[in-house]
Amino acid sequence: NAGVMQNPRHLVRRRGQEARLRCSPMKGHSHVYWYRQLPEEGLKFMVYLQKENIIDESGMPKERFSAEFPKEGPSILRIQQVVRGDSAAYFCASSPGLRTRPSYEQYFGPGTRLTVT
């Protein structure tokens, strides 16, 4: 059973460009979380999605950031018009969900390291 997959692992963008980060959850997992980690800091929650639904986006910046988890395909975190302050590691996590069985554990991907030049 493959783990959570994220790509690309490293992404370099110039200021003003768009960044697209992809996350494929573990097989059978229908819940996806995105987190951002600045250097020397802990992870900060951004958004929680289920298939075709955004459940909680309280950690997302109001502008330039968006996320989706379509019926088919990976979850996408999109950052438009990137700025230097967007440089960080972005982690995706998945879990089986709350209805199938109690699962508080989240399984993390290796992260995408975004560098904005």
In the complex, the residues that contact other proteins under the rule CB under 8 A are 4, 31, 33, 35, 40-45, 48, 55-56, 58-59, 91, 93, 95, 98, 104-111, 113
Shortest distance, position 110 Cβ to other proteins, whole Å:
4
Q: Which residue, 17 or 107, has its beta carbon nearer to other proteins?
A: 107
Q: Which residue, 15 or 51, has its beta carbon nearer to other proteins?
A: 51
Classified as helix, coil or strand, 89 is: strand
Q: Residues of 35-69 as b/e, b for ≥16 C-beta within 10 angstroms? A: bbeeeeeebeebbbbeeeeeeebeebeeeebebbb
Q: Which residue, 25 or 111, has its beta carbon nearer to other proteins?
A: 111
Q: Which residue, 20 or 113, has its beta carbon nearer to other proteins?
A: 113
CB 60 within 8 A of CB 77: no
Shortest distance, position 42 Cβ to other proteins, whole Å:
4
Shortest distance, position 38 Cβ to other proteins, whole Å:
10
Structure tokens at 54: 């955004």
Shortest distance, position 59 Cβ to other proteins, whole Å:
8
Q: Read off φ and ψ for residue 64, nearest 5 degrees.
A: 75, -20
